[in-house]
A and B are shown apart, each in its own frame.
Chain A
Amino acid sequence: MMKVVRGFYSVAHAVKLCKPNVICAYPITPQTEIVENLAEMYANGELENCRYITAESEFAAASILVGASATGARTFTATCSQGLILMSEVLFNAAGMRLPIVIANPNRAISAPLSIWNDLQDSMALRDAGIIQLYVENNQEAHDAIPQAYKIAEDQRVLLPFMVCMDGFKLTHAYEPIDLLDQSVVDNFLPPFKPKAYMTTKKPLAFGCYAPPHVYMEFRVAMQNAMDRAKDLMEKVFREWTEVSGRNWGGHLEVIYPDSKLFVVAMGSIVGLLRKVVEDLRREGINLGLVKLRTFRPFPVEELRSYLGDAEKIIVLDRSISLGYEGNLSIELKSALYGFSAEIISMILGLGGRDLSKEFLENLIRNAIAGKEASGFKGAKDFEEVIP
C-alpha cells in the first residue's frame, strides 16, 4: 500500500509486520518517533504477543533485550549517538552471546560538542562490536531492510545483532511515498524466531559463561566465521527480497556505471544526491561511476576489489573520522584495495549536519578528478583554534 509517511513510520511499520516479542527503547533525537510510533501501536493493541518497555536508559534497554533475546523472544530497539555509545558495553556483549537483536540507528553526531544533527560517527564507533551494519539511502530501503535484518540476524548460521543505519533527520524526518508492505508478504518471507538454544526450564542451558585463555579465542573465531557466513547469506536474502518485493537494492554494493575508471564511494542518504551529480558530471564528459556501499560489516572486500580493481582514481566521501587518522570508510577501502593501483582521495565532510549541496559536491569531485583537490576536510571554515 503506497502511503506518504515519515522515515520513522516506515521503520516502525516494518517492525510491526515482523511481529517482535519484546520492544525496548529509550527516547533520543532523532530516533524517538520510531519508538513513539511503536508505543502507539502497542497502546492500541496492534502488537500481538509483544511487550513494549520504556527503559530508564539505552544501557538498560539493550540489557533488557539481552535477557529477552536469550529467552527466545524476537527483539527490537532503536537508538543513536549518545544512546548507542551508552549501549555499547551491552551490544558488544550481545554480539558475543550471539543474540540477534535488531537495532534501527538514525545516525547522529557524537558529543562534544553536543550535536543532534547527522553524520555517521555513532555507528562507526561500534564497528568492531560484531554487529552487522547496513546503511540505507532512503526510507523505502529502510522499510525493506527491517524484515531482511531479522531474517539474516536470526539465521542459525549467523546469530549476530543487526543494525540498520539511516541518516538522522535527512531520512527520519522526511516524508516520502512508501510502499508499505502487506503482512502476508512479511509472513511468507520471514520465518518465526525459533533459536535452537534459549533459556527454558525444560532444558536448562547456561548463557554467558566466562572463557579462560584456552577457549576465549575460539569464540571470537566463531564470531568471525558467522560474519563470513552472513556475507554470503545476505547476498541470498537480498536477491530473495527482490523477488518478494520487486525492489532491487543491490547486493552489499550498488555500482552505477561499473565500467568507469573514476569512482565516487559513499554510504547512506548522500548517495541519492550523488546519483544526480554523477549523471551531470558524465554529461560534462567525465567518465565517472558511483559505488553505494550498503554493507559495512561484514565488509564486502571481494566485491569492492572486483568493481574497483581497475579504477584509476577513487574519491571517498566520509561522514565520520577516526581522529588521529582519517575518514573511516577510506581506512576500510584502502585496506580492501591494498595492492591495487587506484589513487584514493579521502574527503571528510558533512560532519554534525553540515549541509552538502549538489554544487559543493560537484565542484569537489570535478576538482579531485582534475588533480586539484587533495584528501582532507571539505567544507570546514577557516578559524582560529583556541589553545588554552
Chain B
Amino acid sequence: MKFFGRGHGACPGCGLTTAVRNVLNALDGRCFVANSTGCLEIISSQYGKNAWGVPYIHSLFDNTAAVACGISEALKALKREEEGKVVVLAGDGATADIGLTLHGMFDRNHDVIYICLDNEAYQNTGHQQSGLTPFGESTTTTPAGKLILGKMGRKKDMVAIAIAHGSPYVATSSAVLPADIRRKVKKAAGIEGAKYIQIHCPCVTGWGIDGKDVVKVGNLAIETALYPIVEFENGKLISVRKIKDRKPVEEYLKPQRRFRHLFTDPRGKEVIAEIQRIADRNAEKYGLDLKKE
C-alpha cells in the first residue's frame, strides 16, 4: 500500500489494482508513472485524493508513451537517471487504439517500461470495444444483436507489433499471476530500451463476473490458451507458461456476461467454435500445451 492504494476507488476484485501494486513493488517504488486517461486514472487520481506514492503524471488519453519518453529524456539530460525507471500504465484502448505515440517510443527505443493493463474494452466509460476486445465479445459499441453476435474483428496482436518494432523485451502476464508480473517487471527494468508488458486484468463490471470469481476467470483465460503468457527477449521467445490440461474455451466464456449471448443464440456455437480455433492456434504458435509422456 506504500506506493499505490490509499483511497483508490476501484471496484472490489478489480484486476488493475493487483497488477499496479505488483509493478510498483517490483521496482521498489523507484519509478516515474505516466498514466493515460482511463479506469486506473479515474480510480486513483482525483485532485486532493490521489492514491499514488510514486511520482505520477496523467496528461491525456492518447499521448502517454510520448509523455514517458519525455520523462526518460529529461532524466538523462538532468543526469537524474538513478532516481528510477519510467513506467507507462495505460489501458488497452489507450494502447491499441488512440495511443499513437507508442510507435515513436518503440522506434526511438526510449528507456521506458510500457505496461498495458488489458481489461479488453473501454471499461471506465461503460464497456465499449477497443482494439484488444476479443472476437465474439458483446460490448456497447459492438452489441450482440439479431444480425451480429458482438465484435466480429480480432484482438489486435500488440505483442507482435512490439516485437516487429524491435523492442528488446516483450511479455504478457496476468493480474492473477502476481509473482509472474514482478519477475517480468524486474527483468524489464534491467534492460535498456522500450519494453512492452501486457497484463490481462479481469474487470468485474465489464466482463460481468463476481469479484470472488476474478481469480478463477483470470486463470481460465490462461488455461484455455486464450491469453498466452509469453516472454520475448530481442524478438526471441524465451519462456511460455505451459498448460497442463488445456480446457475448452466454453469454460472461460460461460461465466462471463460479455459472452452470454454465445450460449443463448443458436448461432453462438459457430462463434464459440471460432474462439476455440483461436485458442488452438495460440497453443500451437507458442507451444503452450504440456506434452503428455
Residue numbers of A with Cβ under 8 A of B are 21-22, 24, 49-51, 53, 55-57, 59-61, 63-73, 89-90, 93, 97, 199-202, 204-212, 215
Contacts and interface: CB of A to CB of B under 8 A. Distances in A.
A199 to B, nearest CB: 4
Interface string B85-108: 000000000000000110110011
Contacts of B256: none
Contact of A22 (B29, B74, B84, B104): B74
Nearest to A215: B47
Interface string B161-204: 00000000000000000000000000000000000000000000
Contacts, number: 163
16 contacts: A51-B77, A56-B100, A56-B104, A63-B67, A67-B69, A69-B74, A70-B70, A71-B80, A90-B60, A199-B57, A201-B29, A201-B55, A202-B83, A206-B56, A209-B46, A210-B45
A201 B271 CA distance: 49
Interface string B195-228: 0000000000000000000000000000000000
A206 B74 contact: no
Contacts of B232: none
Contacts of A204: 52-56
Contacts of A24: 70, 73
A224 B207 CA distance: 44
A215 B79 CA distance: 36
B117 interface: no
Given A55-B104, A71-B32, A49 B56 contact: no
Contacts of B67: 63-64, 66-67, 70
Given A71-B32, A206-B56, A56 B103 contact: yes
B55 A67 contact: no
Name, among A63, A67, A199, the residue most crowded by chain B CB atoms within 10 Å (CB to CB).
A67
B46 A210 contact: yes
A76 to B, nearest CB: 12
Nearest to B50: A206
Given A56-B107, A60-B63, A204-B52, A210 B41 contact: yes
Interface string B33-61: 01000000110011110101111111110
A22 B70 CA distance: 8
A70 B57 contact: yes
Given A59-B100, A209-B46, A73 B59 contact: no
Nearest 3 interchain pairs by C-beta = A67-B70, A63-B66, A63-B63
A212 B46 contact: yes
Contacts of B20: none
Contacts of A72: 74, 78
B240 interface: no
Contacts of B76: 51
B83 A64 contact: no
Contacts of B103: 56
Given A201-B29, A215-B47, A71 B70 contact: yes
Given A22-B77, A67-B67, 16 more contacts: A49-B77, A49-B79, A55-B104, A64-B66, A64-B69, A67-B68, A68-B71, A71-B78, A200-B83, A202-B83, A204-B54, A208-B45, A209-B47, A209-B48, A209-B50, A209-B58
